[in-house]
Amino acid sequence: MAKAVIVGIPGEADLWLADLGAGAVKLLNPTGDLATANDLRKAGGTFVKDVDLAVAVSSAQVALSGHVDG
């Protein structure tokens, strides 16, 4: 089971590492293959591997309330 997730949001250049075990999120400086995937993402591509649900919401409060922005 994955213990960390790398996240990129459309329109944002940065990638973030969410460490699920530690309950922490930190900014990533992608290198190697991850940098290549990030370049493709910034050009409009989508890269998904071993994630079965991902939803961007406008705030943590929205997510905690059980709502998904449409």
Contact 27, 12 (CB under 8 A): no
Q: For position 58, what pLDDT does the model report?
A: 84
**Sequence-ordered strand ranges (E) for the chain:** 4-8, 15-19, 24-28
| pLDDT tens string 5-15 | 999 998 888 99
* pTM for the predicted model, two decimal places: 0.80
- Asked if pLDDT for residue 70 goes beyond 60, the answer is no
**Contact call for residues 61 and 67 (beta carbons, < 8 A):** no
**Over the stretch 30-64, which tens digit does the pLDDT of each residue have?**
999 999 999 999 999 998 999 988 888 888 888 88
Closest CA to 16 of 1, 26, 31, 30: 26
